[in-house]
């Protein structure tokens, strides 16, 4: 039997955020726990941010590529919640020392136009309910040293959610095949990685549809106005003060953030 102490586990993660100090995986202290329990812990970690006056403004997906799923020995992606304190406004810098070990990824972001919920939602439903798509930079920050964790650990850690920047031009996805759109991640003018939208579960909208179905299991959904980061198209890269990170996505435009 698991001897998981929920309070202690949540405190370990919230302390790591407050003290900007990496911790060790919960599973090392509390033994293995299952995925639904991991999402229970995640809900409490997110609630802790809300108690500090922040709002939930969206969600993000992780482990959306087959390569990463194989690496973690799982067959599903995972998700976390984005809160208002995680948003970096266009033109503002990413303050590196507000994170423990930040890494950046290029993603396609969806601005949800109509509430989306249900266990039968597909990619076409997502596209129909999407107000706009944008290029995005996802800023990960695992609260576990060296990004070393098991699947329940990372889910409890809100799927490493820490920050994000979206492009400031809203693009109507009608008539755009997001599957084929080219994605380029540059750091300081160097091409770090390239991809196409299909890198995310075959299609970024399929990834968002998976999220909606996963949320339905917990009686939750996406609300109009939320931003969803559909999953990394590229590998993640560590950033340092002075770096400039640029994500360029064909047909969607460019998003850029300087690191201070």
Interaction site with other proteins (CB under 8 A): 66, 177, 179-184, 190-191, 194-199, 202, 233, 248-250
Nearer to other proteins by C-beta: 25 or 77? 77
Shortest Å distance, C-beta 98 to other proteins = 30
Nearer to other proteins, 155 or 185 (CB): 185
In angstroms, what is the minimal distance from the CB of 259 to other proteins? 21
Least separation in angstroms between residue 188's CB and other proteins is: 13
- Asked whether 41 and 121 are in contact (CB, 8 A), the reply is no
For residues 24 and 254, which CB has a smaller minimum distance to other proteins in the complex? 254
Beta carbon nearer to other proteins, 82 or 185: 185
Spell out the SS3 assignment of the chain. Answer: CCCCCHHHHHHHHHHHHHHCCCECCHHHHHCCCCHHHHHHHHHHHHHHHHHCCCCEEEEEEECCCHHHHHHHCCCCCEEEEEEHHHECCCCCCECHHHCCCCEEEEEEEEEECCCECCCCCCHHHHHHCEEEEEEEEEEECCCEHHHCCCHHHHHHCHHHEEEEEECCCCECCCCCCCCCCEEEEEECCEEEEEEEHHHCCCCHHHHHHHHHHHHHCCCCCECCCCEEEEEECCCCEECCCCCEEEEEECCCEEEEEEEC
Q: Which is nearer to other proteins, 74 or 198 (CB)?
A: 198
Give the nearer residue to other proteins in terms of CB position, either 173 or 197: 197
């Amino acid at each position: 039997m698991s001897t998981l102490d929920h309070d202690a586990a949540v405190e370990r993660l919230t302390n790591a955020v407050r003290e900007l100090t990496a911790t060790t995986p919960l599973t090392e202290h509390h033994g293995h726990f299952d995925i639904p329990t991991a999402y229970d812990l995640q809900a409490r970690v997110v609630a802790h941010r809300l108690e500090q006056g922040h709002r939930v403004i969206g969600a993000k997906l992780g482990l959306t590529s087959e390569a990463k799923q194989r690496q973690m020995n799982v067959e599903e992606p995972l998700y976390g919640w984005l809160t208002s304190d995680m948003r970096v406004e266009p033109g503002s810098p990413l303050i590196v020392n507000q994170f423990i070990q930040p890494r950046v990824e290029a993603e396609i972001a969806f601005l949800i136009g109509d509430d989306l919920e249900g266990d039968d939602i597909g990619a076409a439903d997502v596209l129909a309910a999407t107000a706009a798509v944008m290029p995005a930079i996802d800023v990960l920050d695992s609260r576990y040293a060296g990004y070393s964790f098991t699947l329940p650990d990372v889910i409890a850690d809100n799927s490493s959610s820490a920050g994000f920047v979206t492009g400031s031009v809203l693009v109507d996805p009608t008539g755009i095949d997001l599957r084929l759109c080219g994605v380029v991640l540059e750091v300081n003018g160097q091409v770090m990685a390239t991809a196409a939208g299909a890198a995310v579960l075959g299609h970024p909208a399929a990834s968002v549809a998976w999220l909606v179905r996963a949320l339905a299991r917990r009686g939750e959904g996406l609300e109009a106005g939320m931003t969803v980061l559909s999953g990394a198209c590229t590998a993640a890269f560590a950033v340092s003060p002075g770096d400039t990170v640029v994500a360029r996505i064909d047909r969607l435009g460019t998003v850029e953030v300087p690191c201070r």
